[in-house]
Structure 1
Amino acid sequence: MMKQSFVYILTNTYRTTFYIGVTSNLEKRILEHKQGIGSAFTKKYNLSDLIYFEKFSDIHQAISREKQLKNWRKEWKINLIKKVNPVLKTLDV
């Protein structure tokens, strides 16, 4: 059986900058972002608010989805997020 994995989107307080990542342990990864560990980009732009994630049973699917989302326009990403999180609130893991 494959380990579950996640594609996630982080943003800042003002919801102006987005970061898309992939991980097998969402809770641990979000904590690392909050502590400024692991990504210079998220640290630089203070991106630690989880506003969207998708769960996968196969890491290869998650990586493929991450690459797809990274190529999307910002407007498309916001529309995707708003389908499940209309007010862009910070989600609990």
Structure 2
Amino acid sequence: MRTAFALAHLSPRAELRLLGLISPSTVPVVAPIKLGIPPRKAEVLTPAEARARYGYAKPAEAHLEFRARQAARVFDDGKAPRDQGLIESQEILGPLS
């Protein structure tokens, strides 16, 4: 494996083709770096700065009401959890099946 990775690392394009087979959704993120394309902006944000700028809650504080309803459904009512969160996440994370 080390030899294969070392050979692939010699050519950024070959490396991107292999990455496309292993993890296609990462290619658009990694390709500009591998191909030496400079960023549009030199600005770098911390996760906290990005959350504040774009209006996202901290992961530990996100969706507290939804999580409380799920917990009550499962632990209090003894029902199976709903797939609502999974279904909503498909747009970002990809299809469930």
Coarse TM-score class (shorter-chain normalised): under 0.3
> Relative contact order, CA 8 A, sep 6+: which one is greater?
1
Query: Which structure is larger by alpha-carbon Rg, 1 or 2?
Result: 2
TM-score (norm. length: structure 2): 0.22
Whose helix fraction is larger, Structure 1's or Structure 2's? 2
Whose strand fraction is larger, Structure 1's or Structure 2's? 1
TM-score (norm. length: structure 1): 0.22
